[in-house]
């Protein structure tokens, strides 16, 4: 029997009740899925890598004043986070054309977009997370106009931060997805970045070679996904010298 109460299980993560009210434990699984879970695999080490990488990005956001759910890492696969009321939208920011925007608009993959483009998808697996407009969002009450303005501002700040961090290690941030949640204080709420930021939810291309270092490696069978994520972690200095998943050898303690 599990020692903790499971709150929610998604495709790549599990949320458990946290040690204090208003907190949750976020567990990163090794499961990889694509095309709305039509393609599935277990990738050894992916959960540990994403736990570390999401910690790294969220801490960086905290350092520049972008509010987010991260509190602290608990172990290889788990982190303590603030509980939020998730807004049922995926907020996508695109700097270069790739993926669904190419199909939708007939753009060439890799085209530099004239400015960062923000898209919203309604989070509903049964519907395949359809693209929605601000009109839909307001009309169906998923978020208010103020929430929308705040979401766009948060997404652009995350984009500036992530683009810079990646560029510094020779990686192009093509696009990414974030999720945003509400934190309530009486009748008022504010928005914070939630869920995760990892190569599962970004497109990352090597600046020189164009090598893909994100989940497209799995989606398109381009090689070993854990190798690609390890490369990202290594360049960012996130990976311990002995790697993840290897326990240090026993040592005599005097
Ligand atoms: P797309 O090109 O498939 O619309 O994806 C754009 C970016 O958003 C890409 O980095 C992958 C990410 N994304 C997710 O992480 N989860 C999702 O459900 C979707 C639709 C996109």
Q: What is the pLDDT, as a whole number, of residue 249? A: 62
Looking up tokens 């106009």, which residue turns up?
145
Superfamily of segment(s) 86-224: ATP-grasp fold, B domain (3.30.470.20)
Cβ of 176 below 6 Å from ligand 1: yes
- Over residues 183-187, mean pLDDT: 94
pLDDT band at 239 (very low <50, low <70, confident <90, very high): confident
pLDDT, tens digit, for every residue of 57-105? 999 999 999 999 999 999 999 999 999 999 999 999 999 999 999 999 9
Q: What is the pLDDT, as a whole number, of residue 252? A: 72
Mean pLDDT of the chain: 95
Cβ of 51 below 6 Å from ligand 1: no
Ligand 1 atom closest to the Cα of residue 174 is: 10
Q: How far is the CA of 92 from the centre of ligand 1 (A)?
A: 7
pLDDT band at 203 (very low <50, low <70, confident <90, very high): very high
Cβ of 99 below 6 Å from ligand 1: yes
Which part of the chain is CATH 3.30.470.20?
86-224
Looking up tokens 């029997």, which residue turns up?
1
Residues 6+ apart with CB under 8 A from 75: none
Q: Where are the beta strands (DSSP E) in the chain?
A: 6-9, 13-17, 23-28, 31-34, 39-42, 70-73, 78-82, 85-86, 89-96, 112-122, 131-132, 171-185, 188-194, 202-206
- Over residues 171-195, mean pLDDT: 97
- Over residues 216-243, mean pLDDT: 92
pLDDT band at 107 (very low <50, low <70, confident <90, very high): very high
Q: Ligand 1 pocket check: which of 11, 99, 225 to mutate, most ligand atoms within 8 Å of Cβ?
A: 99
For domain 6-82, the CATH architecture is: 2-Layer Sandwich (3.30)
pLDDT of 144 over the 70 cut: yes
pLDDT of 254 over the 80 cut: no
Looking up tokens 């998808």, which residue turns up?
121
Q: What is the pLDDT, as a whole number, of residue 247? A: 52
pLDDT band at 209 (very low <50, low <70, confident <90, very high): very high
């Amino acid at each position: 029997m599990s020692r903790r109460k499971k709150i929610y299980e998604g495709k790549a993560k599990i949320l458990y009740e946290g040690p204090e009210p208003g907190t949750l434990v976020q567990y990163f699984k090794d499961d990889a899925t694509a095309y709305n879970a039509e393609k599935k695999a277990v990738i050894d080490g992916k959960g540990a890598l994403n736990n570390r990488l999401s910690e790294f990005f969220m801490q960086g956001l905290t350092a520049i004043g972008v509010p987010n759910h991260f509190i602290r890492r608990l172990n290889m696969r788990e982190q303590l986070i603030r509980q939020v009321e998730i807004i049922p939208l995926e907020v996508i920011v695109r700097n270069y054309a790739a993926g669904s925007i190419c199909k939708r608009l007939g753009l060439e993959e890799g085209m530099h977009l004239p400015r960062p483009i923000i898209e919203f998808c309604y989070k509903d697996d049964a519907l395949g997370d359809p693209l929605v407009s601000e009109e839909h969002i307001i009309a169906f009450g998923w978020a208010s106009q103020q929430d929308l303005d705040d979401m766009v501002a948060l997404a652009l700040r995350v984009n500036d931060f992530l683009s810079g961090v990646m560029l510094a290690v020779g990686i192009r941030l093509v696009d990414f997805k974030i999720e945003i949640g509400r934190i309530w204080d009486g009748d008022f709420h504010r928005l914070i970045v939630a869920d995760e930021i990892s190569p599962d939810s970004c497109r990352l291309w090597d600046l020189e070679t164009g090598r893909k270092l994100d989940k497209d490696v799995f989606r398109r069978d381009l090689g070993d996904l854990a190798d690609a994520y390890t490369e990202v972690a290594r360049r960012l200095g996130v990976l311990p010298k002995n790697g993840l998943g290897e326990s240090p050898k026993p040592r005599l303690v005097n």
